[in-house]
Each structure stands twice: as structure tokens, then as C-alpha cells.
Structure 1
Amino acid sequence: MVTGLAGWAAWLARWPLGLLHALGWAVGWGAWLLSPTYRRRWRAHTQLAGVRGWARWASVGAAGQQVAELPRLWWGAPVPVGWEGAAHIDAALAHGQGVLFLTPHLGCFEVTPRAYAERFGARAPITVLYRPPRQRALQALLRQARQRPGMAAAPATLAGVRQLMAALRRGEAVGLLPDQVPPAGLGVWAPFFGRPAYTMTLAARLAQQPGVRVLLAWGERLSRGRGYVVHVQPWEQVMNEPLAADAAQAAAQINRAMEALIARAPAQYLWGYARYKTPRGAG
């Protein structure tokens, strides 16, 4: 199975980005039409967040684009990437600070650490948190996709958390998706678009480490296969308040920060993601 999947991925990795996005648009709508569960979740989440009109319907196709572009990002030729706010990264690295990137499931969240590694990785590598697939046969394939010069991957385990903390202490960069539902015992219930969502406490724990600079980042997907723009903003520019010491308060603040980023491009958020699920064993 893995050999066949790798062959398909290698073939798709050679496709032009615009063609992959066209394929992804069709895949996104196909998934929406074929899955009643997915449609119900998408409807509930977009209504909760007040997403209407073109942005709401465009998010269906954009979800498929996020999947279709992965082979090109992981195994293909480099894609065009522009930057907005790269000076904030330069400033943090110049002061020897560890940099924590917080990125929601918005746009192309796979492109942000790769773009960082290409531009800044020689100065300070980036380590990204990922959840290994349950299928053991796929783990090596995806681990290979997420390892490249200037970029390392840390599994969502205790050992992976130690890896992230060590990277920050060395003045390197760390990236994670704080709107990803954590396992039971590793999160708290905090509002997300007005509804309680089980939210990781790891993001706040990392942000509160000494000397860490918190930057909010997301990769905007441009139309017609033109590439991406990585947007970077300091925490205080978005939130205008320090991160609370209390875990529940900090989780709520981080959720509000993610909402602010999502509001910039609601058509590119994964509204079908099961953000409000209850992990087994979580009260």
C-alpha cells in the first residue's frame, strides 16, 4: 500500500500547482457531497462563526485544495512564496530568542514551516509538532516528508514536547497548530467562536518559557496557482494583552487569537475539522 501511495504522490508532485488546486477543488466538493457527516459539521461550524456568502461556499473547495497540494509541497519542486512580516522573525533571531509560531488550520499550514526553513533554517532550525498516523506503514513516509534541511518534526508525545522545549532553549523556532484537539488530560475547555472546545495547554506552556517570542503565522493560498504568502504578526499586535498565567485563561486567549487570524481569510479555514469533539476520557 505504501509503495503504491508513494508512487501516486511522486506523480502528483510533478503537477503544476494550479492544476493541483483545480483537482483539489473538485475533491473538496466531492467529499462534501458524499459525506452527510462532513456537511453537517461544516454547516454547524460556519454558522457558529458567522461565515456567510462566497467565503462559506469557497471553503468547501479550499479544503480539497489543502489536500491536493501536499504532494507538491512534500516531494515536489519549491513553490513560490512571498512574505508579510518576515522582519519580526529577523528581529527575534537577532536577539537570540526562541520563536514560537502559532498557526491555525488556515490556508496552507504546511507551507509556513517549509518557507521558514528555506529562508531562516540555516540561522535557526524549526521543529514542528505533528500527530503520527495510526497506520504504522504511513509513519515513515510522512516522517520523511516532514524532514528537510533546517526543519525537524516532533511527534505529539512526551518525548516530542521535550524536543520542542529544547529547541526553544537553543534559540530555535517551534511551530504548532493550537486549534488541534489534544488527547484527554492535555487540554482544557475554552471558548472557540463562542462554543466550548477542548484546547491544548501546550501552546501556552511553550509561550511562557523564558525568552520565547510568540508569533502568529499562516500561509495564504493565492489564486490561479500563483503560490503562497506567509503572514507573520507578533502576539501583542493581534491581541494587545499579555498571555495569562492561568492555563484556562491562556487557552481562551489563544483561541481568540486564532479567531482573529481566521477572520482574515475565512474561505481558507478547515471548517469541516472536528474541532469540538470530546477526546476519549476528557470530562
Structure 2
Amino acid sequence: MARLLLSLAAFLVTAELSSAASFWDNLKLDCGVSVWSDWGPSVDGYRTRTRQIYRQPQNGGALCPNISETDKDPWIKQTTTEKAATIETNFLLGSGGSSSGRKRRETTVRDRDILFIVDSSGSIDTHEYNTAKTGLANLIGKICGKIGLGPQSNRAALIIFSNKPQEIFDFDDHDNLADVQAAIRNIPHISSSTCTGDALEYAKTMFTLSKGVRRDRDSVKEVVVLTDGGSNCGADAVTKAAELQESKRVFVFAIGDFSPAGRIEMEAMASHPPSKHLFHVGSFLQFQNIVVTVLRYPNNCAPIVIN
């Protein structure tokens, strides 16, 4: 009897192992990859980052994505004209859908609801702050499409931040460009610490119908952060930026010198790829010169037509 019981137990174990092996052999598994590494050093103006494959696909699972990615280095020194062209191409002209015909393809600009977040911390002196305000007001005047509350118009809202965020105006407070520009030129200077994460958290409350934002299908939702340094208080800026990026396109104007840690934070705050969403400007004077250069450009807001 004992031998019979042992034989039965061995049979059951063998059957269970065989069933488990069959289960794993037929299980559909997607490719598994690691998170991206940090960007490598700049070589001829480009950088590369990589990730590892942890698991190969099995039984028809999703194939592995690219494990290497190359992008322009947004921190590389460029002339004022080069920076102005980069800002105009990637920010001022906007993004939108495209429609195809038999003989041409047109790229048209979609209406945009743009929230501006302006650093008002004490590391920016009064002259620099005034330069930033004037430059930003003028830059908004070059955004493709008019500012207004009607159809086929862009809407703008703005908050400033230092030790805490402060709303200056929401998306339906001003119905024309001149009023928006005047409001920007009059924003106060808080002159305290730099709680960027708190401002990004507050930004989520701005994208509601009560603040004048339109429905998702009616406009592109964007955030523009203008800052002179990394955060030093409040919520984690990288985490809060990632939450915004789930539904918003985030641009960052990084003005001045940044530590390695500050650069990492700025890159994480901006949408991907950094070369199209992170604009490093060496100083407030260069920012002013870039805006002056942009103002001299012809109006490039007509739909781009490719024959």
C-alpha cells in the first residue's frame, strides 16, 4: 500500500509539473525593457540614450521597441538666430493634424489652450524679471493664430510661482492679445524660493471648464514653463511634470546656467523629445535678443503645403 501511495504521489507531481510547463510554454508574453538610461555626452550636437531588453517576446507577444535613441542636445550652444529658429519651428508655429490629397499634403495649426507658468523667485533680479515679462509678452504675439475667445483662436492663462503658485489670469479672462500682453507686463515679483512642483500641481486645476479651457476635442492643451533654475522646495517637480505630460504638451524655457541636477530636472519636465520642447537660453539678455529676432521674422503661420 505504501508503494502504491508513493507511486500515485509521484504521478500527480509529474502531471502537475507537465501542466505547468505547458502553461508557460504557451503563455503570451510581451517584450520587457528597462527604463531609459540618462542621456550620454554630446557628440557633434547629438546625444544617445539606451535601455536593456529584460524579456524577449513569446507566443505572439508585442515585439521589442528600439533600445537606442538619438536626439539633438538642447543644451548645446547656439547663436541667437539658431535659437530663435528652433523656438519658432517647435513652439510658435504650433502642431496639428494633417490632411492628404492626391497632389499635396497640408499641415494645419490647431487651436491651443496654453498655460504659461512663470518663475517669480528671488534668484531673478528685478531687471531680469522685467526683461522676462516683456520678452514673454512679445513672444506670445508671434504664436501662430490670434488670441481670443472665438472659434479658431488660441486661449492663454498664466500663473506665477515662487514659494507658492499664484493665478494671474485664466483662459477666458482676456479676449484679445493686447490685454494678455498688458497683464503679463504687470505681473508682480514674489522674490522667494522656487517651488516648481507646487506650480505644476496647481497647473492641473487650471485645465477645467470653469477656468475657460475648452473640451479636449476642441483644442490642444499645452503648458509653458519659464524658469531660471531647478526647484528647491515643495512637491517633486519631475513627478508633477510627468502627471501633466499624460494629457498636456509641456515646453520649458530654461534661462541661465544649470547644474547637472538642474538639467536632468528640466529635461524631465519637458515633453519628449527634449530638442523640440526644451529651449535653453544662456541669459535673460539672450532671451530678449531671441525675441527681437523672432519679431523680425515674416509671418509663417500660413498652412505648410508640400506639393
For the pair shown, which has the larger CA radius of gyration, 1 or 2?
2
Q: Which has the higher contact order (CA 8 A, sep 6+)?
A: 1
Higher helix share: 1
Task: Assess same fold via TM > 0.5.
Answer: no
Instruction: Give the alignment's TM-score, normalised by structure 2.
Output: 0.29
Instruction: Give the alignment's TM-score, normalised by structure 1.
Output: 0.31
